Amino acid sequence: MVLFPVTVPLSRPLAASGRSTLAALGSIGQASALFAGSVRALRDIGVWGPLLLPQMARVGVASVPIALFIAMFTGIVMSLQASYTLTGTIPLYFVGTMVGKTMILELGPVLTGLTLAGRVGANISAELGTMRVTEQVDALETLAYNPIAYLVVPRTLAGILMFPFVVLLAIAMGIMSGWLTALQLLDMSSPEFIKGLRLFFEPWDVWFAVVKSVSFGAVVTGIGCFCGLQTDQGAEGVGRSATRTVVVSSMIILCLDAFWAAVLL
């Protein structure tokens, strides 16, 4: 019996790669158009102005509990791990240094951003995706409302304004929980922890965290709006949009984290 080898056309992988590239470029173009439309829609203050405060409450205030919960246990773990790492080599007050620096520069902004990508970004995407598939977005256009000014601008501005406050609260909670852990479990005194906390502290560290959190807020809410407005195929499409929002937002947050560290530090 003669077996003939099965040949796979070389053009098939190239065609798949080409389709993926074109789809990615198309998404970038659509996102750029949405961004430009959002900038133009800032003039319609009468449309997005009354919606800004409710969105700030949804994006920021409602996110505080989960951000503080994660930051609290992050501070506890950081304090314990710092104590374990420094045992017998470096003075124990450096626990305060490691907890403070790590929470302010890295873990506070990044963990909060990733958490809010799941909570805020997916929520926005699912909400706008449902409005898209049920033709509520088309109804806004019929009523002479600009959907971008009504839906995108207030959510994006709320993310830009509220993410820094949530991040700063999370940083404070992480440092406080690390301090209490050091007092109760590591036999450290408050002056020792505060000495380490102030040892290498720079005011620029806080501004660095604020800059990162502003960019994270713009990314999470912007991608949530973009994916939501691109939703199709009913309830299944809403689920895919929410998942894509979390995945893409998380990837861009990590890329921005590296970018800001390279540029500003």
Q: Could you read off the pLDDT of 32-90 as tens digits, one per residue?
A: 888 888 888 888 888 888 999 999 999 999 999 999 999 999 999 988 887 777 766 77
- Establish if 157 belongs to a structural domain: yes
Residue 10 inside a domain? The answer is no
Determine the pLDDT at residue 5. Answer: 53
Task: Report the 10 Å Cβ neighbour count for 84.
Answer: 10
Stretch (H or E) spanning 87: none
Q: Are 59 and 122 in contact (CB under 8 A)?
A: no
Long-range own/partner contacts, residues 85-93 (CB < 8 A, 24 or more apart):
92/186, 92/188, 92/192, 93/188, 93/192, 93/193, 93/195, 93/196, 93/199
For residue range 176-205, list pLDDT tens digits in order.
Answer: 999 998 888 887 888 888 888 888 888 899
Predicted confidence at residue 19, as pLDDT, reads 66
Q: If DSSP codes are grouped into helix, strand and coil, which group holds residue 36?
A: helix
Residue that wins the pLDDT comparison between 9 and 4: 9
Residue 9 within a domain: no
Query: Domain tally for the chain?
Result: 1
147 in a domain, yes or no? yes
> What token pair was written down for 53?
């405060």
Residue 41 CA to residue 37 CA, distance in Å, equals 6
Q: Give 91 or 147, the one with higher predicted confidence.
A: 147
* pLDDT score recorded for residue 23: 65
Residue 29 lies in a domain: no
Question: What pLDDT is attached to residue 200?
Answer: 83
pTM for the predicted model, two decimal places = 0.86
Q: DSSP string covering 103-163, please?
A: IIIIIHHHHHHHHHIIIIIHHHHHHHHHHHHTTHHHHHHHTT--HIIIIIHHHHHHHHHHH
Question: Range of 81's domain?
Answer: 64-264
Instruction: Give the chain's mean pLDDT.
Output: 86
In a domain, 45, yes or no: no
Q: How confident is the model at residue 114 (pLDDT cuts 50, 70, 90)?
A: very high
Residues 103 and 175: beta-carbon distance below 8 Å? yes
Query: 232 falls in which pLDDT band (50, 70, 90)?
Result: confident
Q: Decide if 43 is inside a domain.
A: no
Structure confidence at residue 1 as a pLDDT band (50, 70, 90): very low
Burial of 201 (0-12, 13-18, 19+ CB in 10 A): middle
What is the pLDDT averaged over residues 116-125? 92
Based on C-alpha coordinates, what's the Rg of the chain? 23
CB atoms inside a 10 Å sphere around CB 20: 10
User: Cβ–Cβ contacts within 10 Å for residue 58, how many?
Assistant: 18
Q: What is the mean pLDDT of residues 222-228?
A: 91
What pLDDT shows up at residue 88? 66
In a domain, 170, yes or no: yes
124 or 141: which carries more pLDDT confidence? 124
Give the separation between CA 224 and CA 34, rounded to whole angstroms.
12
* Higher-confidence position of 115 and 140: 115
Q: Which two tokens stand for residue 251?
A: 């990837």
Cα dihedral across residues 135, 138, 140, 142: positive or negative: negative
